Structure 1
């Protein structure tokens, strides 16, 4: 069977069970685009590590943010936020980093009304993909004034806040930023949100985590061993040949082969039922 047929069938198999096991599920709690884009920024920023821990951390954060993430960010005061999130810890990000993220979101909507409009100020529709847009977007955000959070105009060395905004220019795969963009740019299809219609889905780059990197190698989408920006673009280029208008449509389903279906690179009995098994290059015993 051809790769496109296999992946199109996999795309069609996405389900609410997969969504419930994904940080994107928090965005679906809200009805307005303004709330959903803020929820997407927060949820994607913390989407690293074990999925159970991610969901637990996000549940705690959104419980404090209340029924409108947009209103929470609009009225966010760093001094109060530092008290609210004093005990917060998600792996190496702490309450200060989270408050800096809220301050960044507040600054963006103060300057451009929505996160989407702010991103458009960095976006070049004539560029091959989102590489230059993400580079400028991260640089601008890291240049905001975070003294109300950190007590100094320079982000301190012991803060992992810059981890939220990596740059393609440094070679990072920018997994969480690419995931954020997939959520808000791709058409609303029951999974992704379709909020930023001015950005073309054709320009997106796939979010490369351990699952996408491993499965991408097994399917022959890349031969690269390092999960970096070059690899992300290489996998995207291979998928673009299957769907030029929407290459990252396959990301959610491919990723959940690992997140929800247990694919970890080892050959198991479950491989017999895997929808991509016949094309998978994983070594057989």
Structure 2
């Protein structure tokens, strides 16, 4: 295990650096300086993060152009007519109905709160294993407005449905992890990096299985938890830093 830890530590150092940003969806929130803009753009970028990375980035650029590249200001001050362009926005199965509800919820939320972190603290227990509760309560809260469309619920995964919750876990990595490498933002202080669950996409899943870090047959919530528990043996305080290693090995090195 020590050899594997050393190998993965080297890969973290290789990939957890600014060069990683350019071709990754995290490049979208890195275009902004204001905390609220980083949160909002990062949230959309993570939710839209499936398919080719180039397409994801292009669709996010298109989306934020509709908000005059000032998402927080747009959410607080837009008029009804300003929403018309969103009727033509679509990325895979994320369509105009979903887009408009996301805008509606975030507009409602930011008029009452200063940070999206507050929406993730409803299920915070303070324990290392709190993420299941955090994600479950967040998804319930996000769709608690009276006019939430049933079809839109599929776009925010929840452990209740046994989903691996890859995109939302990735978003939390961006917002919570803090180091001196300049990739993740470390904006949120009330969720600990030790509580994070590793985003388990196809590449991370494949590499994790090849390295013996995942034994569960399905790629689901329990597989993501199993992977993270193994990574905690390498670094209990910051297990999800190994996402860089596993993803880099999968995408860049075709491991």
Give CA deviations for 1:180-224 in whole Å, capped at 9, x if unaligned.
111001115311000101110000101111011101000110112
Unmatched 5+ stretches in structure 1: 146-152, 264-270, 272-285
TM-score (norm 2): 0.92
Aligned to 1:35: 37
Aligned mate of 1:186, from 171, 177, 181: 177
Please show how residues 210-221 of structure 1 align to structure 2 within 5 Å. 210-221=202-213
CA contact 2:127–2:195 (8 Å) conserved in 1: no
> CA–CA distance in 2 between the matches of 1:187 and 1:96?
35
Aligned mate of 1:155, from 138, 149, 155: 149
> CA–CA distance in 2 between the matches of 1:257 and 1:129?
28
> CA–CA distance in 1 between the matches of 2:49 and 2:176?
18
Unmatched 5+ stretches in structure 2: none
> CA–CA distance in 2 between the matches of 1:143 and 1:79?
25
**Structure 2 CA distance for partners of 1:76 and 1:216, relative to 1, 3 Å:** farther
> CA–CA distance in 1 between the matches of 2:79 and 2:172?
27
How many residue pairs were aligned? 252
Report runs of 4+ in structure 1 exceeding 3 Å deviation.
Answer: 76-80
Question: How far is the alpha carbon of 1:75 from its aligned partner?
Answer: 2.3
TM-score (norm 1): 0.83
Aligned to 2:190: 198
Structural RMSD (CA): 1.8
> CA–CA distance in 2 between the matches of 1:80 and 1:232?
40
Aligned to 1:51: 53
> CA–CA distance in 1 between the matches of 2:140 and 2:114?
19
Aligned to 2:88: 87
Aligned to 1:74: 76
Give the greater-gyration-radius structure (CA).
Answer: 1
Aligned to 2:250: 258
Aligned to 2:129: 128
CA contact 2:75–2:103 (8 Å) conserved in 1: yes
> CA–CA distance in 2 between the matches of 1:185 and 1:79?
35
